[in-house]
Amino acid sequence: MGRFNIKKHDTFIDMTPMSDVMVLLLTFFMLTSTFIKPEPIKVNTPGSVSEIKVPDKNVLTILIEKTGRIFMSFDKKGDALTTLDGICEKYSLSLSRQEKSEFGQLPAFGLPIQNIPALLKLPEDSREAAMSNESNKGIPCDSLDNQFKDWVLCAKEVNPDLRISIKADATTPYKVIKQVMTSLQDIKENRYNLITTLKKVESVDE
Amino acid sequence: MKTKQKKKVVRVDFTPMVDMMMLLITFFMLCTSLIKPKSMEINMPSNKDDIKEEQQNKVKASEAITIIFDKDNKVYYYEGIPEMGSLKEANYSDKQGGLRDLLLKRNMVAIQKVKALRQKYNQTISSDAFAEKKAKKKLDDEIEKIRGEKGVPNVIIKGTDEGSYENLIACLNEMQICDIGKYVIVAIEDFDKEMIEYYKTNGTNPAAGAATE
């Protein structure tokens, strides 16, 4: 009797097609994606039918939280730094170069100018938490102390091509929005974008 | 004697490569936002007095519809010059009694024109990217022109302090859907607030309004 001839199967799977697909997917994601910008506060934008794209260069984003706190973020670090210079001069605030560049590292900021030195004294990783803390009031924007206006004015002086876009939470009280809008009106900024998410509406054919 | 050439298998194991790809893809998938946020462009009237006058000419109070949004997603409107009791309530839905219903009826002519234009545009869609862009721009310009024509109602949007940002966007949204080119956002006046109060107690009743005068 002959022996059972156990055939050894080759368990080698060819991974080349899989690798091909992966490379394709990877290229797709790399080309189409824009990185999520970290924001210190959560903002749920309302929906609209508007399909205008948000400009992607030279944008000054004004973030408004639902409690009414105002934050700002520049898309270019250089603009943020030069604007800070202007603000420091206006409010006679002295910051060292080191402090200024550290401020420029923040993805978004929103605090009264007087509190900036205190914020920069904190360790780097707790700054964002300090800004999203309840005790922080955001950039003041009322008739008594309108630092928001100065920030925008300075930013516009630094970069006249700057586009203002407002990203506010859907449940923000209109009072705050009105304050922001009238402040912008006061400094003759009459064109700006309101950031919304796309919400399709059945066409009005009937 | 023949030299026997041994055939070597030149198979490379791609598994580590795939592993790495997977990692990279997960990284990109988690860190990116594919949906780009959209935006609305608005033009606010300037605060300067000389332009204000011009703006006032544009939006004559007597021919305008004024929309006032209030807390709890309530929205009111009145037509023409405000008068106690002329306030009516509307809502944000697209059904009967909604803002859209009201504005659509008012703006029938312009909407028809815009619709015809859009249809024409959709039919002549071409594969040439450059021509496409040009046609789109032309379409936008023409729509803009129709929206600014005479007969298109003027809308004034006002909001109480208790209203929300969402309400404002909802109102602006209706302007876009109903092809209304001339609208302004202005601050609410005391009289408007009184009217809302009056509406809450008395409802829409022109007769009652006349009686109190």
Amino acid at B7: K
Which is nearest to A136 in space by CA: A125, A127, A144, A145? A127
Q: How many domains does chain B have?
A: 1
More confident residue, A38 or B133: B133
**C-alpha atoms less than 13 angstroms from C-alpha of B194 in its C-beta half-sphere:** 8
To the nearest 10°, the Cα dihedral for A87, A88, A92, A98?
170
Which structure tokens are listed for B44? 């606010």
Chain A residue with minimal CA distance to B162? A173
| In-domain check, residue B34 | no
The answer to whether residue B6 sits within a structural domain is: no
Would you state the pLDDT for residue B58? 52
How many beta carbons lie within 10 A of that of residue B139, not counting itself?
17
Q: How confident is the model at residue B211 (pLDDT cuts 50, 70, 90)?
A: very low
Q: What pLDDT shows up at residue B139?
A: 79
B213 in contact with A at a CB cutoff of 8 Å?
no
Output the six-digit token pair for B159. 């909001």
Instruction: Identify the weakest region by mean pLDDT among A2-6, A168-172, B28-32, B196-200.
Output: A2-6
Predicted local distance difference test score (pLDDT) of residue B212: 41
Please give the DSSP secondary-structure letter assigned to residue A146.
B
Residue in B162, B165, B187 closest to A169 by CB? B165
- Answer whether residue A5 shows pLDDT above 80: no
Distances (CA, A) of A45 to A58, A73, A87, A169: 21, 16, 29, 5
Domain range for B83 is 61-212
pLDDT for residue A171 is more than 60: yes
User: Cβ B36–A54 below 8 Å, yes or no?
Assistant: yes
Distances (CA, A) of B152 to A46, B46, B109, B128, B206: 27, 22, 8, 34, 26
Q: Beta-carbon neighbour count of residue B113 at 10 Å?
A: 17
User: Hey, which residues 120-149 in chain B have their CB within 8 Å of chain A?
Assistant: none
The residue extents of the domains of chain A are 47-198
Shortest CA distance to B87 belongs to which of B183, B186, B189, B206? B206
Q: Please check whether residue B193 lies inside any domain of the structure.
A: yes
Lowest mean pLDDT among A22-36, A150-164, B197-211: B197-211
Residues 6+ apart with CB under 8 A from A111: A119, A131, A136, A137, A138, A139
ipTM of the complex: 0.75
- Structural domain contains residue B48: no
pLDDT in tens, B180-190: 777 888 888 88
User: Are A173 and B164 inside 8 Å of each other by CB?
Assistant: yes
Using the Cβ of B112 and the Cβ atoms of chain A, whether some distance falls under 8 Å is answered with: no
Q: Are B45 and B51 in contact (CB under 8 A)?
A: yes
pLDDT, tens digit (0-9, with 9 covering 90-100), for B7-39: 777 777 888 888 998 999 898 888 877 767 777
Residues in B closer than 8 angstroms to A29, CB to CB, are: 25, 28-29, 32
Closest chain B CA to residue A16: B14
Least confident residue range of A57-61, A93-97, A137-141, B149-153: B149-153
Interface probe for B, chosen from A165, A178, A183, A191 (most Cβ of B below 10 Å), is: A178
CB B174 within 8 A of CB A199: no
Enter the pTM of the model: 0.74
Question: Is B162 among the domain residues?
Answer: yes
Of B17, B37, B47, the CB nearest to A195: B37
Cβ-contact A64, A168 below 8 angstroms? yes
What's the pLDDT at A90? 80
Q: For residue A117, which phi and psi values (nearest 5 degrees)?
A: -60, -40
pLDDT score of B158: 84
Interatomic CA distance for residues A24 and A33, integer angstroms: 14
State the pLDDT at residue B204. 60
For position A59, what pLDDT does the model report? 84
Are A54 and A193 in contact by the 8 Å Cβ rule? The answer is yes
Residues B40, A196: C-beta atoms closer than 8 Å = yes
